[in-house]
């Protein structure tokens, strides 16, 4: 009986120590403007009329949730917008545009790690060219720019993300 109590106490102490030793994701720079960052991301995704831009067919149920998320975002209800997008992702977890929208919702809530994770998933699952690709890469650049401590991993800086963003632009094929 005493051994069980000591084992339970030891497990409790280990749990507390483990909880204390985890490092939370760094907070964004104090002057980080999430709305301006998302505006820049969406501007980077603007399609030119000379560019190849492929749009997938949409699921009406997912579109309803996306529209709800957009309405909630306009009202400044970012957590509720993220929840609507999470519901949509349950219906279509591999949609790169939906993942990108969820990355932007995370950024609006200043959840940098989540924003980068969703943008990277969107990039992994989607096209490597076009407006949506630029939004993925600009999201990653905005997150890297917002972090208070520079990333020391080669190829993981803001400049590299912006270079990759620019590489997403591909001209449409010549038509005769």
State both tokens at 101: 């929208």
State both tokens at 27: 């907070």
Per-residue pLDDT of the chain (176 residues; tens, 9 = 90+): 444 444 444 444 444 444 444 345 567 777 889 999 999 999 888 866 666 666 667 788 899 999 999 999 999 999 999 999 999 999 999 999 999 999 999 999 999 999 999 999 999 998 888 889 889 989 999 998 888 655 555 556 777 878 878 778 777 667 76
Q: What's the per-residue H, E or C state across 121-143?
A: HHHHHCCCCCHHHHHHHHHHHHH
b/e map of 11-39 (b: 16 or more CB within 10 Å)? Answer: eeeeeeeeeeeeeeeeebeeebebeebbe
CATH number of 25-46+55-166: 1.25.40.10
13: phi > 0 → left, psi -120 to 50 → alpha, else beta; which?
alpha
Strand partners, 51: 171
In the chain, domain spans: 25-46+55-166
The whole-model pTM stands at: 0.74
DSSP category for residue 96: H
């Amino acid at each position: 009986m005493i051994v069980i109590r000591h084992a339970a106490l030891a497990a409790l102490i280990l749990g507390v120590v483990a909880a204390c030793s985890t490092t939370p994701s760094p907070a964004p720079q104090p002057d980080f403007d999430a709305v301006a960052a998302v505006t820049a991301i969406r501007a980077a995704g603007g399609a030119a009329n000379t560019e190849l831009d492929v749009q997938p067919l949409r699921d009406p149920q997912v579109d309803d949730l996306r529209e709800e998320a957009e309405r909630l975002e306009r009202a400044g209800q970012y957590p509720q917008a993220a929840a609507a997008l999470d519901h949509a992702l349950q219906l279509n977890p591999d949609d790169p545009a939906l993942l990108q929208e969820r990355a932007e919702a995370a950024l609006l809530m200043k959840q940098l790690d989540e924003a980068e994770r969703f943008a990277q998933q969107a990039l992994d699952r989607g096209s490597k060219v076009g407006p949506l690709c630029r939004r993925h890469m600009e999201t990653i650049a905005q997150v890297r720019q917002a972090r208070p401590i520079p990333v020391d991993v080669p190829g993981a800086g803001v400049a590299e993300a912006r270079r990759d963003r620019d590489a997403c632009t591909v001209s449409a094929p010549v038509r005769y």
